[in-house]
Amino acid sequence: RLILALTSQQFSAMFESGFAESLEPMTVVDLPDWVDYDAFLLLLFYLYSGSLEGDATNGVALPHKELSPPNEQRALLVCNLLRLSDLYLLGHLKSWCESYLGKEEVLTVYTVCGLLSHADICNAPQLLKVCCFIVRKMSAVIAVMPEWQELPAELQARSLTGLGKEL
C-alpha cells in the first residue's frame, strides 16, 4: 500500500483518506471493464520498480514480453498502459507511453487515426500533437481513409487546424 500510495495520487487518496480501502487489512481494487490484464501487470511493475526500460530494471524480468522493437501487439499493450496511466494520474508513465506511441515504427499513416482518438480519450497532449502533425502532413491520404471518416467531426477539425483542446 505504501508504495502504491507514494507513486499514485489515485491510490494515495484511496488508502489515506478514510475510504473503506484504507480501513481494511486487504484491499480489492475494482478495475474498469476495459482494463487489460497484461497492461495492469505492467503498471504494477512500473509502480514498484519505477521503470519499464530494460537497463533500468536492474536485471529484473518485465512481466511481459519485451516492448522493443515496437509492433502492433506491443503498441496495443502500451495504449492500454497509457489509459491506465491517465486513470491513475501517473504523469511520468503517461509521458513515456506517449513517447513510445509517437515513434515512427508505431505512428504511421495507417495508425494515426486510432492513435489520435486514443490520445484524445486519454488526455495525452504530447501524442495528440504528434498525431495532428501527421494528419496535417498527410491530410490528402488520410482524408479518404475509412478510419478518418469514423472520427468525430470536432476531433477532425481540431487535428487539421491545431486549435482547441490541448493543441
Q: Tens place of pLDDT for every residue, the chain, 167 residues? A: 666 666 767 666 666 666 666 667 677 777 889 998 889 989 988 888 887 765 444 455 555 557 878 889 899 999 999 999 999 889 999 999 999 999 999 999 999 999 999 999 999 999 999 999 999 999 999 999 999 999 999 999 999 986 545 44
pLDDT of residue 47: 87
Cβ of 19: how many Cβ atoms within 10 Å?
A: 12
Check: CB of residue 152 under 8 Å from CB of residue 144.
Answer: no
Check: CB of residue 6 under 8 Å from CB of residue 12.
Answer: yes
Distance CA 46, CA 97 (A): 12
Check: CB of residue 111 under 8 Å from CB of residue 75.
Answer: yes
Nearest to 95 by CA among 118, 120, 66, 126: 126
